[in-house]
A and B are shown apart, each in its own frame.
Chain A
Amino acid sequence: MASRDIVQYQAPLSRAFGWFSAVFLALYLVWTLLPILVMFISSFKDLLEAFKIPPVGDWAGVTLFFDFTPTFKHYENLFVNLNFSQYMANSLIAAGGSAAISVILGSMAAYSLSRIDFHGKSDLLFWIISTRMAPVVAVMVPLYWIFRELELVGTLPGLILAYTTFNLPFAIWILKGFFDDVPYAIEEAQMVDGATRFQAFLSILPLVGPGIGAVVVLCILFAWNDYLFAAIIGSGGAKTLSVATRELVQPQNIQWGPIMAAGVVTTLPMMLLGLVIRRYLVAGLTMGAVKE
Chain B
Amino acid sequence: MVTVSIEKVWKIYGRIPAVKDLNIECANGSFLSILGPSGCGKSSTMRMIAGLEHISAGEIRFDGRRINDLAPKDRDVAMVFENYALYPHKSVYENMANPLKLRGQAEVRIRERVLAAAKLLEIAELLDRRPQELSGGQKQRVAIGRAIVREPKLFLFDEPIAHLDAKLRAHMRGEIRHLQRTLGTTVIYVTHDQLEAMSMADRIAVMHEGVLQQLATPREVYNKPVNAWVAGFVGEPAMNFLDCTLEETGGQVRFVHPTFRIAVTPEQARLLEASNRAQGIRLGVRPDALTISLAKSKEESMTGRIFVNELLGGDMIVDVDLGPERVRVKTSTDFAGNEGDVCYITANRDKWHAFSKETGRTIF
Q: Contacts A183-B83, A192-B50, A207-B89 given: A289-B131 contact, CB under 8 Å?
A: yes
The yes or no answer to A114 lying at the interface (CB within 8 A) is: no
B260 contacts partner chain A, Cβ-Cβ < 8 Å: no
Given contacts A287-B132, A288-B134, A289-B131, contact A193 B99 (CB under 8 A): yes
Contact with A along B97-140 (1 / 0, CB 8 A): 01100110000000000000000000000000011111010010
Residues of A within 8 Å of B102, CB to CB, are 190, 193-195, 199
User: Which of A186, A189, A285, A290 counts the most B-chain CB atoms under 10 A from its CB?
Assistant: A189
CB of A122 closer than 8 Å to a CB of B? no
Contact check, B89 vs A191: say whether CB atoms are below 8 A apart. Answer: no
> Chain B CB within 10 Å — which of A186, A196, A199, A203 has the most?
A186
Q: What residues on A are CB-neighbors of B52 within 8 Å?
A: 188, 191-192
A194 partner residues in chain B, CB cutoff 8 A: 73, 99, 102-103
Chain B residues with Cβ under 8 A from A193's Cβ? 73, 78, 98-99, 102, 146
Say yes or no for A291: interface residue by CB 8 A criterion.
yes
Given A188-B52, A193-B146, A289-B99 contact (CB < 8 Å): no
Query: Once the chains bind, are B81 and A188 in contact (CB under 8 Å)?
Result: yes
Return the CB mask of B159-194 against A: 1 if under 8 Å, else 0: 000010000000000000000000000000000000
Q: How far is the CA of A191 from the CA of B72 in the complex (A)?
A: 6
Q: A189 near B79 (CB under 8 angstroms)?
A: yes
Question: Is A206 at the interface (CB under 8 A from chain B)?
Answer: yes
Proximity bits, B71-100, A CB within 8 Å = 1, else 0: 111000111010111111100000000110
A155 interface contact, C-beta 8 A: no
Chain B CB within 8 A of A185 CB = yes
Chain B neighbourhood of A195, CB < 8 A: 73, 102
Contact A185–B71 (Cβ < 8 Å) = no
A194 to B105, CA, bound (A): 12
Would you list the 9 A-B pairs with minimal beta carbon distance, nearest first? Answer: A288-B132, A289-B88, A185-B85, A193-B99, A194-B102, A189-B85, A191-B72, A194-B73, A206-B89
A-B contact pairs, 14 of them (CB 8 A): A188-B52, A189-B79, A189-B85, A189-B146, A190-B87, A192-B50, A192-B79, A194-B73, A207-B89, A288-B88, A288-B132, A289-B84, A289-B85, A291-B84
Contact surface of A with B, Cβ cutoff 8 Å = 183, 185-186, 188-197, 199, 203, 206-207, 285-291
